[in-house]
Amino acid sequence: MSGVVDRRGERERRSPPAVVARCAGGSGVRELLAGLEEEGVPVRLASGTPTGGAATSPADSGEAATAVELAHAAARASPLDVGVGIDVEGRVCVHHAKRPADRPVVTTDATRARWCGHNAARLVVGLPLKEPPEQLEETWPQH
């Protein structure tokens, strides 16, 4: 099959530096992007399968990919080495391409998607991670 060239990889390399987010579920996506925007770090949304559809992984055929798998695939695709994954169950994970696949930076649920966005951005700019928003969550129901 000579002559057929897959240029998707090349296009990815040429794309401007950005954190990559792979979201299988819809919950928390808006908050996640808001966190990144507030910190001023660009982000690119990609499809919610671990390998971006280029090849099918074993996990893809059977059950849906976990947030950790999505995040790690996203981090490896990101020119900034930082990726975020949201799975269908609403788990959110922030990963760095240079970390072992099974040891993400943070894993949490969609209620803290905003916090994950902030932290993904902070990994890029080299700032300490934000404190978990425990106190905020407690005060929300009162309003």
Partner 1 sequence: MTLLVGVDIGNSTTEACLAECGPDGPRYLGGALTSTSGVKGTADNVPGVVKVVQEALSAAGRDQHELAAVLVNEATPVISGLAMETITETVITESTMIGHNPDTPAGAGLGTGTTVAFAELGACAPGERVICVAGAGVDFEDAAAGIAAARDRGVEVTGAVVQADDANLIVNRLPTPIPVVDEVTLVEKVPLGMPAAVEVAEPGRTVRTLSNSYGIATLFDLDPDQTRLVAPVARALVGNRSAVVVRTPSGDVADRRIPAGTLTLIGEHARLPVGVDAGAEEIMATLRRVTPLADATGEAGTHVGGMLATVRDAMAETLSDTGGEQDAAIQDVLAVDTFVPQRVTGALAGEFALENAVALAAMVRTSRAPMEALAGQLRSALDVDVHVGGVEADMAVLGALTTPGTRRPLAVLDLGGGSTDAALATGDGEVHSVHLAGAGDLVTKLIDSELGLDNRDVAEDIKKNPLAKAESFFHVRMEDGTARFFDEPLPAEAFARVVVLGEGGMRPVPTRHPLEKVRRVRRSAKHKVFVVNALRALERVAPGGNLREIGFVVVLGGSALDFEIPDMIAEAVAAAGVVCGTGNVRGSEGPRNAVATGLVDEHAGRTR
- Enumerate binding residues for partner 1 (CB under 8 A): 34, 37-40, 96, 98-100, 103, 105-106, 118, 122-123, 126-129, 139-140, 143
38 phi-psi bin (left φ>0, alpha ψ -120 to 50, beta other): alpha
Closer Cβ to partner 1, 51 or 107, answer by number: 107
Smallest gap from residue 134 Cβ to partner 1 (A): 14
Smallest gap from residue 133 Cβ to partner 1 (A): 9
Closer Cβ to partner 1, 39 or 87, answer by number: 39
Q: 131 by DSSP, 3-state: which? A: coil
Give the DSSP H or E segment for 51.
Answer: none
CA distance 11 to 17: 12
CA distance 108 to 36: 16
Smallest gap from residue 121 Cβ to partner 1 (A): 10
Closer Cβ to partner 1, 54 or 127, answer by number: 127
How many Cα atoms sit within 13 Å of 13 on the Cβ side? 5
Residues shown for the chain: 143
Closer Cβ to partner 1, 62 or 128, answer by number: 128
Smallest gap from residue 78 Cβ to partner 1 (A): 15
